[in-house]
Structure 1
Amino acid sequence: MKMIKNSILGLSLITAGLLSAQSADMTNILKIGINGGVAVPTGNASASFGADLSYQNLVTPGFGLGVATGYNQFFGKDNNNDFAIIPVAALFRFYPKQMGFYAGADLGYGFITGNDYVNSTSSVLRPDGGFYLKPEIGYHNRDWNFFVHYTKVFTGDKGEIGTQKYNAGTIGAGIGYNIPLGK
């Protein structure tokens, strides 16, 4: 009986070692993905589509820190009212399990690019950028992340320029691919 218990204990330790070895090669991860969304609140933009690029280091198996950037194109309601956001942000992720639900956020600065004016008939200058916030929740496995997000660049106290509300926010969904970089 004692030999069976020792065999089970030995097999358990070997299995745990193999499982941790499989997750240990995912300590440093490059993430690439795409996202899309609808503008909220409605204002000068109607929708967005973008690409994400980030680097993540798993500080613990359930918590990741890193840096994030990308390019998000906002489609204006006017033909001349398109603009883009290029974020430079810190990445925070919480993974309760190796596969399943996760939550996180990107926090930083969002650079706004495009036409210098809010629209073609305005003399109001577009802001250069502001505080960038992108909370997200989703599902992850070893290779993929599927998520929903809220993305916003806060351009002022009220988010307004003159009398026109300037909208640089979306609610949307995205998908990302994880590329392991090793330990």
Structure 2
Amino acid sequence: MKKLLLLGAFALLGGMAQAQEGFRLGGHVGAPLGDASDAASVTIGIDAAYMWHITKGLDIGATTGYSHFFGKDNVDDFGFVPIAASGKYTFSKVPLFVGLDLGAAISTRDYINSGLYVAPRVGYQMKNIELYLGFQTISSKYKDHGPYWYDNGRHNFGAVNFGVNFFLK
């Protein structure tokens, strides 16, 4: 009997956990900032996350995606694939939220190293959609590959983004 009750409790808790988690898919478009603005004119990207509901208003999860920077003035396009932890807090009285992604960004070009990825955002929460304004920055090393940077120093590849995410249940 104890085993049956224990099995039932695990099934109930597992069902509750399943009902509170889900996928978030979306995209963003933005204006490059910092060192990226020297070499790129615009950025677009896709975002994917799996979020767990921790407590009222707080979701924690893992996120990935791809941000593509379109090169200008004979600079090749470049991009980053983030692999990060994601957190989001939705306010109870108003449909607004704040969020933060923190992790690593893998470079798609061999002359740009992978680096630290930080992406805070604020947004408007609807039932299955969120609209947000965010900032992303990748702190990385650039490997002396002109035409803009002729050193092996640290650079910040950032952007201000407007995005939309859809929740899949």
TM-score range, shorter chain: 0.7 to 0.9
- Alignment correspondent of 1:178: 167
2 CA distance for matches of 1:88 and 1:25? 23
Distance 1:60 1:166, change over 3 A: same
Identical pairs, percent: 27
- Alignment correspondent of 1:76: 71
- Alignment correspondent of 1:33: 26
How do 1:1-150 residues align onto structure 2 when only pairs under 5 Å count?
27-41=20-34, 42-97=37-92, 100-114=95-109, 116=110, 126-150=111-135
Q: How large is the Cα RMSD of the aligned pairs?
A: 2.3
User: What is the identity, as a one-letter code, of the residue corresponding to 1:94?
Assistant: Y
1 CA distance for matches of 2:80 and 2:103? 12
1 CA distance for matches of 2:101 and 2:50? 12
1 CA distance for matches of 2:75 and 2:19? 44
**Contact map agreement 2:39 2:75 (CA 8 A) in 1:** no
CA positional deviation for 1:97: 2.1
Distance 1:102 1:109, change over 3 A: same
2 CA distance for matches of 1:52 and 1:79? 28
Question: Which structure has the larger Rg over C-alpha atoms?
Answer: 1
State the TM-score, normalized to the length of structure 1: 0.72
Give runs of ≥4 in structure 1 deviating > 2 Å: 163-167
Task: Compare 70-79 and 96-105 and name the one that shifted more.
Answer: 96-105
The 3-state SS of whatever aligns with 1:81 is coil
The 3-state SS of whatever aligns with 1:84 is strand
What runs of 5+ residues in structure 1 fail to find an aligned partner?
Answer: 1-23, 117-125
State the TM-score, normalized to the length of structure 2: 0.77
